[in-house]
Amino acid sequence: MSLQQEKKVSTAPKFGRLDADMADVDAAILRSREYLLSQQHAEGYWCGELEADSMLEADYIFLHTLLESGNPDRLRRAYAEMMRYQNEDGSWSIYPGGPGNISLSVKCYFSAKLMGLKADDPRLVKCREWILDNGGVVACNTFTKMYLCALGQYDYDAVPAIPPEIVLFPNWFYFNIYEISSWSRSILVPLAIIYAKKPFKKIPAEQGIDELFVGGRENVTLRLPMNRDAIFSWRNFFLVLDRMTHWFEAVHIRPLRKLALKRAEKWMLARLEMSDGLGAIYPAMMNAIIALRCLGYSEDDPQVIRARDEFEKLGIEQPATEELPEPTFRMQPCVSPVWDTAQVVFALGEAGVPRDDERMIKAADWMLSKEVRHKGDWSVKAPKTEPGGWYFEFNNEFYPDTDDTAQVLLALSKVENPRERYQYEVAQRAIEWEFAMQCRNGGWGSFDKDNAKMIFQYIPFADHNAMLDPPTVDITGRILETLANYGYTQDDKRVQKAIRFILSEQEPDGSWFGRWGVNYLYGTFLVLRGLEAIGFDQHEPQVQQAAEWIRMVQNADGGWGETCGSYDDPNTRGVGPSTPSQTAWALLGLLAAGDDRSDSIAKGIRWLLERQKPDGSWDESVGEGVTRQALYTGTGFPRVFYLAYHMYRNYFPLLALTGYKRAMERAS
């Protein structure tokens, strides 16, 4: 026996202690089950808040200032919410505890001035100093600069061109819009309309931000610099193309502009149907509202009214409390009912809620009602595939995704529906759709197939770091778990291809990158669950190395945590304050790797038990009073946009506790 094995045996919890603890585990599972069931909506779904950074409130203020609209009281509350999260150094961060972000800080500074805060206010003085120390306005991303242009604070000629003619490229052309990610597509098409129309609203001089230009606005070179170390590079090619586009704009050589605008308008209007707004995501919805007004749609046009209504639905009114003496208003980037419902139903099913429980059936029927039955953008690369699958929100028919589809299938496998034949047919359609969306390398992206042309990252307006939707191991791991639940094995060549993709992506330390959750803890747990479910040998070195990495990054308090900073510095992977969701992911990963006896498992379970609240929920927040904020364990766009799913902290711990209980029962 090796020294490592001896250590594992010597530190393994004794059966007596485990038997005594199982009563606590059972009680915690029951409390968690009852809490989650109490959160179910009358229609059968679950939907927790989706929290993001202060950009949402800043953009909300910008939009209503530009369009001279909005409820003044709501705007004041949005401003109060935004100011809650200013850092000590004057900046704003894209996740709690993170460094200041230049684009976000400029937006918040400008929005504060639009709401009447004076430049000599100490909060703005401190913010201004930080912004100037970090490059000033010119260091912002393209989307921020475009919004500044509309209110006269930046020059359209200095912003990377987003010509609407891009919608005219045929689908077979290398640079067509379906080669960029679905979310970038839905953001950029209306933004191209805005760029073409160049809206402008003059604001009072005291609300301007000329003071945020290093050396003064008149002395700043606004053009993006060429890469002189690599003259013949894709970056320089696109910069030259950008400057040519600006020259054509200046001399009004735009022969296809009218046709392009018509095509962009038609594209946008089609995707406003059967949807909670364009793409059902905040920036696309906001851009669509501005684009419609730029195209001449009036305030009382049904399209504008509906687009505004869907946008305002993302808002949450926060009444005054003891911690927050003043009411505030905050925006969500989107809503997550299909995702949360699928996660909760699966966790409840694993936790022993009967398959024929009426609440489970009601949730299943609600999910079945959300099945996609129309072809969307995904069909450009899978034209012969029948529609199927699910999206993330209440309505988003053009954009189902492989991750939600896999999770809904997992949830449906836990429900015995009286409409058994119908549920079976829906599930089979979804599985066939999933296979049709598998990428050439064996993995799965989220919304599109083979959306991985790296050249697009060199386009000047691609500085939001989200132009592509390549295959990822976290989604691929979840899909493997789903396929195993529906009888697929390693004998299937498509499964074999997926496994090869996953193994090829493993990091040297044994972990896997997490694209849609923070970060390596998320990717590693989903891969291990997928491999276990599909029958991959737990004794293989790839699995055991991953398990060892999870044990290695456990915190001294027994939990696990990782901050969004690991996307910027991979050396900090697995490092961060312990959270319920990430502790659950680590435990689920270890259990999937066959580790049910290590001290790491015992300590992690104790961490969850000790921190469960009396009502069966867990807390995942930092700060006190007005600065209290949920920790972000969800990922929108790495290094750009992060999320706090408020239900993660509840359904993932339930899944982990249930998995631990089953492991103990098998071992006894």
Count of Cβ atoms closer than 10 Å to residue 225 Cβ: 8
Q: What is the rounded CA–CA span in Å between residue 127 and residue 105?
A: 7
The DSSP symbol for 629 reads E
Query: Tokens 């709401």 map to which residue?
Result: 115
- Short-list 437, 422, 351, CA closest to 386: 437
Q: What is the rounded CA–CA span in Å between residue 301 and residue 515?
A: 39
Burial state string for 239-249 with b = 16 or more CB within 10 A and e = fewer than 16? beebeebbebb
Classify residue 441 as exposed, middle or buried by CB count within 10 Å of its CB (0-12, 13-18, 19+). middle
DSSP code string of 470-524: --BHHHHHHHHHHHHHTT--TTSHHHHHHHHHHHHT--TTS----SSBSSHHHHH
Helix (H, G, I), strand (E, B) or coil at 396: strand
- Give me the helices (H) in 100-140, please: 102-114, 122-133
DSSP code string of 166-213: GGGS-TTSTT-GGGS-HHHHHHHHHHHHHHHH-------GGG--GGGS
Q: What is the rounded CA–CA span in Å between residue 284 and residue 377?
A: 15
- Give me the helices (H) in 273-336, please: 282-294, 302-312
Q: What is the rounded CA–CA span in Å between residue 17 and residue 594?
A: 20
Q: What is the rounded CA–CA span in Å between residue 405 and residue 312?
A: 27
Q: Is 616 left (phi over 0), alpha (psi -120 to 50) or beta?
A: left
Q: Residue 42: CB partners within 8 Å, gap ≥ 6?
A: none
The amino acid present at 510, given as its one-letter code, is: G
Separation of CA 108 from chain center: 21
Query: Tokens 């098409």 map to which residue?
Result: 189
Q: Residue 242: CB partners within 8 Å, gap ≥ 6?
A: 160, 161, 224, 460
Query: Please, are residues 182 and 279 in contact by the beta-carbon 8 Å criterion?
Result: yes
Q: Which of 403, 404, 448, 596 is catalytic?
A: 403
The DSSP symbol for 444 reads B
Q: What is the rounded CA–CA span in Å between residue 56 and residue 58?
A: 5
Query: Please, are residues 102 and 134 in contact by the beta-carbon 8 Å criterion?
Result: yes
Number of helical H runs and strand E runs in the chain = 23, 7
Classify residue 381 as exposed, middle or buried by CB count within 10 Å of its CB (0-12, 13-18, 19+). middle
Q: What are phi and psi of 284, to 5 degrees?
A: -65, -40
Helix (H, G, I), strand (E, B) or coil at 644: strand
C-alpha distances in angstroms, 489 versus 180, 282, 540?
33, 40, 17
The question of whether 403 is a catalytic residue gets the answer yes
Tokens of 430: 């979804």
Q: What is the rounded CA–CA span in Å between residue 156 and residue 153?
A: 10
List residues with catalytic annotation. Answer: 403
